[in-house]
Amino acid sequence: MAQYTLLYILFAPFVGSVLLLFIPNRRALAVRFVAAGSALVSLIASLYLFYAYEPAKGGFQFIQKYEWSKELGISFYLGVDGIGTPLVLASSILLFAGIFISWHIKDRIKEFYIFLLVLAAATIGVFMCLDLFFLYFFYEMSVLPMYLLLGMWGSHTKNYLAMTSPEEREKRDSVGFIFNFGSNSKEYAAMKLVLFLSAGAVLALMGILLIYKFSGLNTFDILVLREHAKFSGPLATLIWLLIFFGFASIAPIWPLHSWSPVGHAAAPAATSMLHAGVLMKLGHFSIIRVAFEILPQTTRELMPIAAILCVFSIIYGGFVAYYAKDTKYVIGYSSSSHMGYVFLGMAALDYISLSGAVLYMFAHAMATGMLFAMAGWVYDQTHTRDIPSLGGLVNRMPFIASCFIIACMASIGMPGTVNFIAEVMIIVGSWNKYPFQVIVAVVGIVLTMAYLLRMMRGIFYGPTVEQYSHAHDAVGMVDRMPLLLMIATSIFFGIFPGHFYDIIRSGVDPLIARITEVVPLKAEGQVNSELSAVSYQPSVQRSEGDKLSADR
């Protein structure tokens, strides 16, 4: 049964969403338990996948392949390597935690959980797919539930609700208001998200179709394309740019980032968790899976573009987060800033830096998931996200305040959390190639500390605001468990990163060797290439030079 692990992980949320269709909304507890049960199946299978994956063997494992269209060369082809495995685990953890974060939702809970399960399953599908057709299919599937979750269960911002005069109310309730780029409505956030992601997806689709057309192989199989497709000159450059900017819009990289903080601010807590934790990583992962695998030489030539743009992402996002007064905007712009670190690790094309980038994607998912979950709790209790109007909540919410401190420390990169290891790997691995960007990244860490500590002080410390004397702490296990799960995950892998590191290196090493040396793989569908065997050894067998690099 273990060989079907990927199918359990992928289809458990889908099966749960189908079962929910037959349960009436009045049976709220049954709806919640079905959603939690399907998420739990996916989580348990993901944990098994993580610890059953064999780093020494490397390559793509747990392969499942079913031919879908022989004429078009399309197969439902699943498999995970050292890059996809951690992200599948992150998706499952955040889905399970998000189910309980949303436990107290009362408005159309069945529909909410259906869309949340479909969203998580779609992101998991992207991390598993080895066929370009289905990778793009699951990528696009994630957009629809995001639009509905924001538009139906999202919240307006303070400025929107302040529009109370008859003329302003007429304006804010008009259809045209969602296209007003100065607006603050949840409809605007949902529409902007769809427009940005759809525009980027069209670019990526054009690149994928060009790969299919000009490879001459009549297949969407990524493994076949990486081994036999040959692209060069202007065509390779065009395809790479379409793939990079098409997928980078969801990452999001500056200047394609503006949809993301707005979406964070409007989304319900669980949706923000999945948005920041895994949806944004679809961009980085898809670039690695498509551009890095199929166009290695062009990747080596053009990745300096990412090294330039990531500087703006880190600094711009950090400064806007510092001056923002809305809790979700602070965390949203913080996420945009931190995604610049992932692009820096990818741009350096170094074993250590890319491994750090993959690890940082997982670490950021845990830390930001915690922050959004607690920002949602504070909003539910106070009905405001305006930091200056809050204060003294540590007396009312000691558990939430304690978890918030841990989440802030993880996001900053305090030793003992997995974020620290990832940041050090990115900085060390990128220094030789991009010293200026590394300096900017270090400044970005200082900025992160400044705005997170400022937000924490504004919400939880200072004089107690009597207006919020009714607010209460997370007391029950349903409310505390998802936070404790994410905290435990961040700290556990921060203290015991060995297996995690070995898994990631088993996927990164052959990929970096292929890009830097541009060495073609030998056999179609080859899982354990000689290149992988040469470039990667488990931690107990590494060379002294590699040990020194890892220790740094």
Q: Which amino acid makes up residue 336? A: S
Record the tokens describing residue 31, joined without a space. 């709806």
Query: 65 φ, ψ to 5°?
Result: -135, 125
Neighbour tally for 160: CB within 10 Å: 18
How many Å apart are CA 523 and CA 74, to the nearest integer?
20
CA distance 500 to 489: 12
What pLDDT score does 159 carry?
53
Q: pLDDT (tens digit, 9 = 90+) per residue, 416-466?
A: 999 999 999 999 999 988 999 999 999 999 999 999 999 998 888 878 777
Predicted confidence (pLDDT) per residue in 379-399, tens digit: 888 888 888 888 888 888 889
Q: How far apart are CA 326 and CA 265, in angstroms?
A: 8
Read off the pLDDT band of 142 (50, 70, 90): confident
**What pLDDT was estimated at residue 376?**
85
Residues recorded for the chain: 552
Helix, strand or coil, per DSSP, at residue 64:
strand
Q: What is the pLDDT of residues 352-372, one digit of tens each?
A: 999 999 999 999 999 998 998
Regarding predicted confidence, which is higher, 171 or 268?
Answer: 268
328, 187, 195: which is closest to 256 by C-alpha?
195
List b or e across 505-543, with b for residues whose CB sees 16 or more CB atoms inside 10 angstroms: bbbbbbbbbbbeeeeebeeeeeeebebbeebbbbeeebe
pLDDT at residue 171 in the model: 54
Q: Give dist(CA 426, CA 521) in Å, integer.
A: 27
Q: How far is CA 381 from the centre of its chain?
A: 27
**Single-letter residue type at 139:** Y
**DSSP result, 107-123:** SSHHHHHHHHHHHHHHH
Share above pLDDT 70 across residues of the chain, in percent, rounded to a whole number? 88
pLDDT for position 531: 34
What's the pLDDT score for residue 406?
92
- Token pair belonging to 413: 């990169």
